[in-house]
């Protein structure tokens, strides 16, 4: 990579760390940049997952206040997310690279649609919570069918995240918002912890069994940027105009699709 390409990758990591802490979908920033500097799609995905872990950590720490009263729930869902991450990583490493290159444009398109329609989803979830009435976290009982549905949702989104992480957080907020009477900030806090678990387990898997597919300089640049970005996102990112952030993510997602289908 040239110096300017290294700067671009580091800045993409910074932006992705901030976006992941606030919304999710940071991969739609880093993935197109990694493709643009010449990384193959699978290598870009593996290196990106490794690089985003520090940002996931600082983002989760930044939302620790919103995690109050949710420890038991998060610990219940984390094993499902981890199992999903292992499943997704297995699929990424064992399916042919051509299969990944075929599937990923569709996954990116799905992620772009989810990001673009997130305001509609948030308004729908808000109306649903209003009809249900506010329920203190201490009074929420997650058991039986609801717990099974949450576990299945955590496993499915973890599998998606282990295979290709773009908009994993948006999917998690959508799924968990249907099943829990939490605020969006509380859902976002849960999302940050589970995403940290998914990306950390997937990254560890890649380090152990697929070291040859990691571009270490790219992963390091993304990691350095995301570490700072996760802190900034959890601290200041909530103040950014959501339409501006969403428009940028959608534009980058469309760019990634174009790059993938024209390679």
Write the pLDDT tens digit of every residue in 59-115: 888 888 877 777 888 888 899 999 999 998 888 888 887 777 787 777 777 767 776
User: What integer pLDDT is reported at residue 8 of this predicted model?
Assistant: 95
Query: What is the reported pLDDT for 212?
Result: 86
Separation between Cα atoms, residue 62 and residue 66, nearest integer Å: 9
Distance between CA atoms of residues 224 and 236, nearest Å: 18
Per-residue pLDDT tens over the stretch 168-211: 777 777 777 777 767 667 777 888 899 899 989 988 988 888 88
Residue 1 has pLDDT above 90, yes or no: no
- Residue 89: the pLDDT is 87
Please, are residues 234 and 55 in contact by the beta-carbon 8 Å criterion? Answer: no
Helices (H), the chain: 3-22, 27-36, 41-62, 71-94, 97-116, 118-132, 144-163, 168-179, 184-209, 216-235, 242-261
- pLDDT given at position 138: 43
Comparing C-alpha atoms, which of 125, 200, 132 is closest to residue 170? 125
Residue 118 vs residue 157, higher pLDDT = 157
Percentage of the chain exceeding pLDDT 70: 82
pLDDT score of 137: 46
- Per residue in 3-23, pLDDT tens? 999 999 999 999 999 888 877
DSSP structure class, residue 95 = S
For 182-192, what is each residue's pLDDT tens digit? 766 777 788 88
Half-sphere exposure at residue 148, Cβ-oriented, CA atoms within 13 angstroms: 2
Question: Which residue is it, tokens 């009263």?
Answer: 69
- The structural domains of the chain, with segments of one domain joined by +, span 3-261
């Amino acid at each position: 990579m040239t110096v300017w390409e290294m700067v671009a990758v580091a800045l993409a990591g910074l932006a992705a760390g901030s976006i992941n802490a606030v919304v999710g979908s940071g991969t739609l920033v880093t993935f197109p940049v990694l493709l643009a500097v010449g990384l193959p799609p699978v290598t870009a995905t593996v290196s990106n997952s490794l690089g985003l872990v520090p940002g996931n950590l600082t983002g989760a720490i930044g939302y620790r206040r919103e995690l109050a009263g949710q420890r038991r729930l998060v610990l219940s869902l984390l094993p499902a997310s981890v199992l999903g991450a292992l499943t997704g990583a297995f699929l990424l490493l064992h399916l042919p690279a051509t299969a990944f290159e075929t599937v990923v444009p569709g996954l990116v398109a799905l992620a772009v649609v989810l990001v673009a329609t997130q305001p509609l989803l948030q308004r729908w979830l808000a109306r649903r919570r209003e009809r249900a009435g506010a329920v203190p976290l201490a009074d929420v009982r997650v058991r039986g069918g609801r717990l099974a549905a949450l576990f299945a949702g955590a496993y499915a989104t973890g599998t998606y995240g282990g295979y290709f992480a773009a908009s994993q957080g948006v999917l998690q907020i959508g799924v968990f918002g249907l099943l829990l009477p939490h605020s969006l900030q509380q859902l976002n806090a849960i999302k940050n912890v589970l995403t940290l678990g998914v990306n950390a387990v997937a990254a560890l898997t890649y380090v152990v069994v697929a070291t040859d597919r990691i571009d270490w300089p790219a992963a390091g640049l993304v990691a350095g940027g995301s570490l700072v970005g996760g802190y900034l996102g959890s601290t200041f990112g909530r103040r950014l105009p959501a339409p501006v952030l969403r428009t940028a993510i959608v534009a980058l997602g469309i760019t990634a699709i174009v790059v993938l289908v024209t390679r």
